[in-house]
């Protein structure tokens, strides 16, 4: 979804234009645009909030794979190209021409002012527990300076936790890896191990759900064997949370087989002779994450017990857009 292609705090960064799941400012900018230039995107389910992103202007779609053109959005002009090659060519042609960046910044600020404060609390948020948004915020705090300097790499997984992670600020390219296309469950753990092999100097964090952990958690044996210092952070809601939510919403509340077996992740860590922190108290959240990410020379699992009833913020936004109330 391109997070990190433009720094999160850049004045020309409008936010994540992921339809219902995305930032209102970014979605409005796309909605009101006469022309949308979309580079290196497949317009996937997640990246467009189940195709709720409204594109009303003309669409120029630049993509390396011609199969993605016109698949999900009507395209006015298709350009089959590598994204970087295209952007370099375009930059050479437009450099010094046009209205300049000030106009873009002014436009973004106008839209920001028109939509007002979009802070949204998760449905089911419980002050006394660790909600997914609390975990994302705490993680962001702990790795903030490394993220800003491009010294951290975060991989995420599929499921509710993946959507919660949309809110993580990312500042540099190639520092955030999200299986947005096919949302392959079990991606984060092996992806993080690969990232650490490729960039041993980087602070590497995998964020994953408990069910995703069941799929590829065994790969951590490789991290243990090679002593790859990766932190594996589990959003542990003891469920296939996003599926449980769908069962609640679409099947009259009938919840069936969407729980996960209450495995002891710290005993698993112990069996591999790696470190583990279990965090159930909100007050211990930042310190616990800090210890797991920076305070040890071994791979480390952070088993974070999150509020299973909290609906990740982007899904809350989607439900509010569809049902219009909390
Ligand atoms: C390989 C694969 N199998 C199944 C799915 C469907 N799927 C998406 S999310 C999910 C459950 C995720 O549960 P968990 O990892 O605990 O994340 P949570 O939603 O609880 O945060 C499943 C089975 C998938 N995306 N990929
Ligand atoms: Mg889960």
Q: Which domains does the chain have, with CATH numbers?
A: 19-115 (3.40.50.1220), 132-318 (3.40.50.970)
Q: Rounded CA gap, 48 and 37, in Å?
A: 15
Average pLDDT of the segment spanning 173-200: 96
Predicted TM-score (pTM) of this structure: 0.95
pLDDT for the residue numbered 318: 87
Name the token pair of 73: 């959005």
Residue of higher predicted confidence among 252 and 202: 202
230's enclosing H/E stretch is strand 230-236
Query: Which atom of ligand 1 is nearest to 241's Cα?
Result: 20
Q: Rounded CA gap, 41 and 299, in Å?
A: 34
Helix (H, G, I), strand (E, B) or coil at 21: helix
Residue 36 phi, psi dihedral angles, 5° rounding:
-110, 125
235 DSSP β-pair partners:
209, 304
Average pLDDT of the segment spanning 45-55: 93
Residue 244 pLDDT greater than 70, yes or no: yes
Cβ partners under 8 Å of residue 148, min gap 6: 171, 172
Residue 242 in contact with ligand 1 by CB distance below 6 A: yes
Distance 81 CA to ligand 1 centre (A): 32
Overall size of the chain counted in residues: 326
Query: Which atom of ligand 1 is nearest to 240's Cα?
Result: 13
pLDDT for the residue numbered 12: 94
Q: What integer best gives the mean pLDDT of the chain?
A: 94
Residue 220 pLDDT greater than 80, yes or no: yes
Which protein residue has the closest C-alpha to ligand 1 atom 11? 240
């Amino acid at each position: 979804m391109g997070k990190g292609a433009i720094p999160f705090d850049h004045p020309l960064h409008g936010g994540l234009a992921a339809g219902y799941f995305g930032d209102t400012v970014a979605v409005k900018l796309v909605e009101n645009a006469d022309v949308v230039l979309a580079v290196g995107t497949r317009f996937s389910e997640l990246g467009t909030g189940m195709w709720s992103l409204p594109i009303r202007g003309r669409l120029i779609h630049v993509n390396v794979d011609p199969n993605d053109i016109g698949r999900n959005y009507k395209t006015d002009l298709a350009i089959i190209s590598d994204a970087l090659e295209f952007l370099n060519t375009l930059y050479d042609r437009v450099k010094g021409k046009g209205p300049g960046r000030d106009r873009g910044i002014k436009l973004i600020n106008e839209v920001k002012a028109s939509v007002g404060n979009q802070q949204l609390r998760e449905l089911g948020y419980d002050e006394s527990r660790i909600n997914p948004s609390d975990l994302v915020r705490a993680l962001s705090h702990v790795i903030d300076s490394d993220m800003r300097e491009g010294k951290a790499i975060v991989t995420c997984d599929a499921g509710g936790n993946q959507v919660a992670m949309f809110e993580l600020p990312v500042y540099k390219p190639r520092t955030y890896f999200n299986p947005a296309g096919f949302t392959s469950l079990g991606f984060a753990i092996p992806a993080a191990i690969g990232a650490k092999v490729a960039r041993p100097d980087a602070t590497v964090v995998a964020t994953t759900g408990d069910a995703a952990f069941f799929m590829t958690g065994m790969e951590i044996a490789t991290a243990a064997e090679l002593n790859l210092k990766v932190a594996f952070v589990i959003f542990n809601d003891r469920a296939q949370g996003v599926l449980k939510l769908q069962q609640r919403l679409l099947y009259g509340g009938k919840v069936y087989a969407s729980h996960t077996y209450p495995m002891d992740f710290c005993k698993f860590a112990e069996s591999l002779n790696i470190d583990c922190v279990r965090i159930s108290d909100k007050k211990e959240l930042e310190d616990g994450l800090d210890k797991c990410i920076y305070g040890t020379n071994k791979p480390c699992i952070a088993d974070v017990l999150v509020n299973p009833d909290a609906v990740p913020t982007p899904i809350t936004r989607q439900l509010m857009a569809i049902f219009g109330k909390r």
